[in-house]
Structures are given as structure tokens and as C-alpha cells.
């Protein structure tokens, strides 16, 4: 994989008096992110991770790579997409590093910088949930799941029908959304928050 | 005790039984739950995967609405509980988050002063304020001889600082003991079920589910008690797929903890939404719900 020269690293979108943030600076600018500097590479996170065996790089390696500014390698890897947000690494970390939060910011950066495949599964699922919340104010599961399969692997929908049918029969799958009254209010909040989001 | 009730998206769709049993049980135990007017989705773990300030901001809307009512929020869903509690903690701990979220809320004419606590249903039942004792006294049908595996799941006790031990929580075990049931040793109690991958990476999630079901079966449990809509959905609705993939024959009923509390308080299974579970539990609960 090509390594990037530090000069080319981040597009300049900030006020001119600020230097563009390097990759590691972006990651440790998240709430509590500075703790990443304190990592002692003990590997407790990797040993606690449910899905470390599926990852290109274990959480411990991801931290080392973030600190080494290996942006492309990290963002192109599958590691953060296999994080199930169970927070086991975070509660066990002897240095109090918010590893799950780090995985979140890496997911966000990978999406933002176009490092995810168009049919990427977990990224499309997350995007679908965000769209559903922004549109209705609450998740409309049926539509969200159908959209997800159309975007990723439409043929897999057939295999899901028995499960959908049994949930429907039990009255556990409403076919109508429950939009909230304050949709405009929520959209204003989302829009305003989006403008304040830390951008690289 | 009066609380603002935050059901969350799951409890009005796939986990309707959790909603029914929560309302039935809390009413009997003298816990007044008033649903938060026009609440929005907490965003769960998916929203923060895409953006962070927006994810905090949508949670903060709920907190701001609840603050107007002046009551603490009780959320039965583990994901709603964790996400909103995390937002609350981050708003208190990190001034930059507070400032940005405050600005976002102001765009809709709302503000949040940080005066609301987010608590879990299991927390208010076990936190030593006498509710457990009251529950014990109100039990009409002792669930004697019922062997349960208490499955807390991952979100409810993490990230650290929750109401119970982050790795070996016992809240559900204590509740089940108060009902007369017998919790079996269940080391997988706080393991993640892989639920957030059940749609996108099903094979991996099924593997995690298999381990949990096997652990419960090997411990001699007759049913699994859970506090999370996603754990319930995956263990209940995908149990058939686990069986097909691993050649097993599990038919372990999965119950929300208020459903079993409801049985012990003398409710009919139908009133608690138990018949909505895919794995039937007629034989199991028959002796207790005549």
C-alpha cells in the first residue's frame, strides 16, 4: 500500500492561521482522544475484542498505526468496520483510552474520505439508520433494511423473507413509520450540528 | 417514583413485548412512567459511526425535552440507555462537546442544562431504594424451580461507570432470585451477541449467538432472560438459523426480564406480550401462569 507524504495529507478547509491537522491529530481531537498518546501497547484491547480475528489490524495495531500517521492503511482497512461497539476494550484499557470512540471516528473518516466501497455492508447499514432517523425522527426498520439490501446485495433479501414473515405474523414488524411531530426541529439540530462537526 | 419513559424505536416495533411488560410491571410496582412527548431515536451505535456531534445533538434533544418535564429518563432499551447516558456524561465532561451541542440545540430553540439522569429499568428495580423488597412482597407466583440464564448483554453495563460491574453484572440475577427463580452460572452474561452485525455480517453474528446459546444450554438453563431488544431479537428470531448452521437443536425461550417479573406478579402471558416471542414458552411457563 502506498504511504502518503505528510505534506499532501489533509485538504486545507480550516482558517488559514491553523495548520491542517495530521491524521493522528484528527483522531486525538475527539473527546478524550488525547489518551491515545498514553497507549502502552499491552494488547488488552486486542485480547478482549470479539472480532479481532476478522480484522486486518487488531485494535492495538490500529492505535500504533494512528500514532504513526498511517492514514491510508488504517482508513482502507476493515478493522473499524468489525467493531461491534461492545466497549469491552474501553472498560479494560489500563490507560483509559476510548477505543470504541476511536473506531467510531475512523469509520466517520473512512466514509468522509471515500475509503469505503459503494456496496460496503456495515457502512451502508449505518448510513441507512442515519437517513431513517434524519427523515422520520425514528428508525423505520422495514424500509431501512430493504434499502440496505438493495444497496448492498439485493439477492439476499429473498433469504430474509421467512424471518420477516414470522416477525410480521407476531405483530413485531410495523409496516408504517412513526414519524415524529418535531421533524423540522430535529433537522435544524442535525444541520446546525453538522456545521460544527470537526472537519479535517 | 415518577419517571419520564423513553421507549425507543425497538420497543414500538420488534420488541413490543418489552414495552407491554415494562408498562404492566411498573404500574403494579408503583413506578409512574410518563412517555416523553415526541421523542426521537437515540441514534444507537450507528449514528456515531458516521458523525459524532450530530449523534450527541439528537440525543440532547431528548434530554432537553425531558428537562422541561423535570423527571429523570428511564429507558428499558440497552442501546438507548447507553447512548443517552454517554451523551449526558460527555456533555458534563467535555466543554467543547457541550458548547457545540448547545449551539445545535439553540438552532431549534432548545437548551439543556444537564439536570437529567438517564437510568435503566433494571437499575431502578435493583438500586437499593426498597423496590426489590416491594417486588418480593408483591410476588404472587414464586417461580420456584425455573432455571434461568441471566444475559445482561454488552451495552447496559458499559462503558464503565454504569450501575453494575462492567464485566460480571448481577442485577438480573438478583431480580430473578427475588422472584424465586434459580439463576444458573452464566459466564457469557456480559458478552456481546454481535447484534449490530446481524444484518451486515450475519455469519459472524451467528457464531457469537451459538456460543451464548451453547453456554446457556450447558449451564442447564431453561430460558434466557435479557434486558436488551437487540439481544432478544437475535437470540429469539435467529435461533433457527443458528441451529441450521451449527447442526444444533436449541429451542431456548428468550424472555425480557419484566416478562418474568410480570408472570410472578400474576399477569397472563398475553398481557406481557410473551406470545409474540418466536420461540414458544407455553410448556415452560404453564405451571406458573394458570
At A172 the pLDDT is 92
Q: Are A31 and B90 a contacting pair at CB < 8 A? A: yes
Nearest residue of chain B to residue A33 (CA atoms) = B94
Taking an 8 Å cut-off on Cβ atoms, the answer to whether A171 and B16 are in contact is: yes
- Chain B residues with CB under 8 Å of A198 CB are 52-53
Of A130, A131, A190, A198, the C-alpha closest to B110 is A190
Peptide bond into B159 cis (omega under 30): yes
Q: List pLDDT tens digits, range B208-253.
A: 999 999 999 999 999 999 999 999 999 999 999 999 999 999 999 9
Smallest Cα distance from A6 to chain B, Å: 25
A contacts of B43 (beta carbons < 8 Å): 129-130, 133
Q: Among A45, A141, A185, which would you mutate to test the B interface (most chain B Cβ atoms within 10 Å of its Cβ)?
A: A185
Asked if the model's pLDDT at residue A4 lies above 70, the reply is: no
B159 to A98: CB separation less than 8 angstroms, yes or no: yes
Q: Quick check: B160 pLDDT over 90?
A: no
C-alpha span between B69 and B78 (Å, rounded): 23
Is there a contact between B159 and A91 if contact means CB atoms under 8 Å apart? yes
Closest residue of chain B to A194, computed from CA coordinates:
B54
Question: In this structure, how many other beta carbons lie within 10 angstroms of the beta carbon of residue A155?
Answer: 7
> Which residues from B are below 8 Å from A193, CB to CB?
51, 53-54, 56-58, 100-101, 104
Mark yes or no for CB contact B41/A139 under 8 Å.
yes
**DSSP label at residue B196:** G
Contact partners, residue B137, CB within 8 Å, separation at least 6: none
**Unique residue bearing C-alpha cell 415452560:** B284
The per-residue pLDDT for A82 is 95
Put simply, the answer to whether A108 touches B90 (Cβ < 8 Å) is: no
Of B246, B245, B247, B242, the C-alpha closest to B279 is B242
From A45, A53, A30, A47, select the one nearest A93 (Cα to Cα): A45
Class of domain A21-112: mainly alpha
Q: Which cell goes with A5?
A: 507524504
CATH class given for the domain over B140-288: alpha beta
Structure confidence by residue, pLDDT tens digits, A120-145: 888 999 999 999 999 999 999 999 99
pLDDT at A15: 53
Distance CA A191, CA B254 (A): 40
Q: What is the pLDDT of residue A118?
A: 85
B103-118: pLDDT as tens digits? 999 999 999 999 899 9
B23 vs B198: CA distance, rounded Å: 28
Q: What cell numbers appear for A47 in the block? A: 485480547
Dist. CA A151–CA A182, nearest whole Å: 29
Report yes or no: A130 and B46 within 8 Å, Cβ to Cβ. Answer: yes
- Separation of alpha carbons A29 and B141, rounded Å: 55
Distance, in Å, from the CA atom of B255 to the CA atom of B277, rounded to the nearest integer, reads 8
What radius of gyration, in Å, describes the C-alpha atoms of chain B?
A: 19
Q: What's the whole-number average pLDDT of chain A? A: 88
Cα B71 from Cα B67, distance rounded (Å): 7
Contact A171 B160 (CB under 8 A): no
- Closest CA in chain B for residue A133: B41
- Predicted confidence at residue B258, as pLDDT, reads 95
Residues sharing a CB contact under 8 Å with residue A197, sequence separation 6 or more, in sequence order: B51, B52, B53, B54
Protein fold of B2-121: Glutathione S-transferase Yfyf (Class Pi); Chain A, domain 2 (1.20.1050)
Alpha-carbon distance of A177 to B207, in angstroms, equals: 32
Tell me the domain boundaries of chain A: 21-112, 121-196
| pLDDT for position A68 | 96
Per residue in B182-215, pLDDT (tens digit) is 999 999 999 999 999 999 999 999 999 999 999 9
Average of per-residue pLDDT values in chain B: 92
User: Distance from A3 to chain B by nearest Cα, in Å?
Assistant: 25
How many interchain CB pairs under 8 A, A with B? 197
- B135 or A20: which leads in pLDDT: B135
Q: How high is the pLDDT of residue A200?
A: 45
Which ranges of A10-96 would DSSP assign to H, the alpha helix? 23-28, 44-48, 59-67, 71-76, 88-92
For A24-71, write each residue's pLDDT tens digit: 999 988 988 999 999 999 999 999 999 999 999 999 999 999 999 999
Instruction: Look at residue B95 in the predicted model and tell me its pLDDT.
Output: 92
Helix intervals (H) in B70-109: 78-93, 95-106
The answer to whether B90 and A31 are in contact (CB under 8 A) is yes
Q: CB–CB of A172 and B13 under 8 A? A: yes
Interchain contact, A196 vs B208, CB within 8 Å = no
- Residue of chain A nearest B38, judged by CA positions: A180
Q: Kindly report, residue by residue over A145-198, the tens digit of the pLDDT.
A: 999 999 999 998 998 899 999 999 999 999 999 999 999 999 999 999 999 876
Q: Least CB-CB distance to A133: which of B47, B199, B204?
A: B47
Contact B110 A189 (CB under 8 A): yes
Tell me which chain B residues have a C-beta less than 8 angstroms from the C-beta of A32.
Answer: 93-94
Beta-bridge partner residues of B169: none
Domain boundaries defined on chain B:
2-121, 140-288
Give tens-digit pLDDT for B27-59.
999 899 999 999 999 998 889 888 889 999 999
Amino acid at each position: 500500500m502506498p504511504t502518503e507524504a505528510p505534506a499532501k495529507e489533509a485538504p486545507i478547509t480550516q482558517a488559514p492561521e491553523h495548520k491542517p491537522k495530521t491524521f493522528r491529530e484528527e483522531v486525538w481531537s475527539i473527546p478524550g482522544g488525547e489518551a491515545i498518546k498514553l497507549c502502552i501497547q499491552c494488547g488488552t484491547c486486542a485480547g478482549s475484542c470479539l472480532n479481532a480475528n476478522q480484522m486486518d489490524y487488531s485494535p492495538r495495531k490500529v492505535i500504533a498505526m494512528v500514532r504513526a500517521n498511517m492514514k491510508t492503511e488504517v482508513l482502507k482497512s476493515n478493522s473499524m468496520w468489525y467493531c461491534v461497539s461492545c466497549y469491552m476494550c474501553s472498560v479494560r484499557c489500563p490507560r483509559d483510552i476510548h477505543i470504541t470512540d476511536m473506531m467510531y471516528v475512523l469509520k466517520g473518516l473512512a466514509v468522509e474520505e471515500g475509503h469505503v466501497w459503494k456496496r460496503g455492508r456495515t457502512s451502508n447499514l449505518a448510513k441507512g439508520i442515519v437517513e431513517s432517523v434524519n427523515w422520520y425522527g425514528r428508525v423505520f426498520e422495514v424500509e431501512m433494511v430493504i434499502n440496505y439490501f438493495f444497496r448492498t446485495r439485493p439477492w439476499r433479501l429473498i433469504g430474509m423473507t421467512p424471518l420477516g414473515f414470522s416477525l410480521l405474523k407476531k405483530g413485531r414488524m410495523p409496516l408504517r413509520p412513526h414519524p415524529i411531530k418535531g421533524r423540522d426541529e430535529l433537522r435544524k439540530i442535525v444541520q446546525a450540528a453538522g456545521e460544527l462537526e470537526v472537519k479535517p | 417514583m415518577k419517571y419520564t419513559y423513553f421507549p425507543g424505536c425497538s420497543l414500538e416495533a420488534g420488541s413490543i413485548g418489552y414495552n407491554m411488560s415494562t408498562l404492566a410491571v411498573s404500574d403494579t410496582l408503583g413506578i409512574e412512567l410518563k412517555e416523553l412527548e415526541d421523542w426521537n431515536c437515540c441514534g444507537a451505535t450507528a449514528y456515531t459511526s458516521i458523525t459524532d456531534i450530530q449523534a450527541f445533538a439528537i440525543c440532547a434533544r431528548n434530554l432537553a425535552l425531558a428537562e422541561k418535564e423535570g423527571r429523570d429518563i428511564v429507558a428499558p432499551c440497552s442501546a438507548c440507555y447507553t447512548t443517552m447516558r454517554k451523551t449526558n456524561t460527555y456533555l458534563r465532561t467535555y466543554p467543547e462537546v457541550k458548547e457545540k451541542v448547545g449551539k445545535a440545540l439553540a438552532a431549534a430553540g432548545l437548551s439543556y442544562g444537564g439536570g437529567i439522569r438517564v437510568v435503566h429499568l433494571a437499575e431502578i428495580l435493583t438500586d437499593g431504594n426498597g423496590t426489590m423488597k416491594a417486588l418480593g412482597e408483591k410476588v404472587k407466583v414464586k417461580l420456584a424451580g425455573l432455571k434461568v440464564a441471566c444475559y445482561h448483554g454488552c451495552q447496559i453495563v458499559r462503558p464503565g461507570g454504569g450501575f453494575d460491574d462492567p464485566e460480571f453484572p448481577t442485577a438480573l440475577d438478583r431480580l430473578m432470585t427475588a422472584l424465586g427463580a434459580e439463576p444458573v452460572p452464566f459466564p457469557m452474561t456480559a458478552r456481546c451477541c454481535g447484534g449490530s452485525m446481524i444484518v451486515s455480517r450475519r455469519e459472524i453474528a451467528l457464531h457469537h449467538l451459538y456460543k451464548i446459546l451453547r453456554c446457556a444450554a450447558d449451564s442447564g438453563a431453561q430460558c434466557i432472560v435479557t434486558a436488551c431488544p437487540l439481544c432478544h431479537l437475535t437470540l429469539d428470531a435467529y435461533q433457527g438459523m443458528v441451529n441450521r448452521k451449527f447442526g444444533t437443536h436449541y429451542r431456548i425461550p428468550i424472555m425480557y426480564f419484566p416478562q418474568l417479573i410480570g408472570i410472578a406478579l400474576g399477569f397472563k402471558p398475553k398481557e406481557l406480550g410473551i406470545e409474540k416471542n418466536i420461540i414458544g414458552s407455553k410448556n415452560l411457563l404453564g405451571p406458573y401462569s394458570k
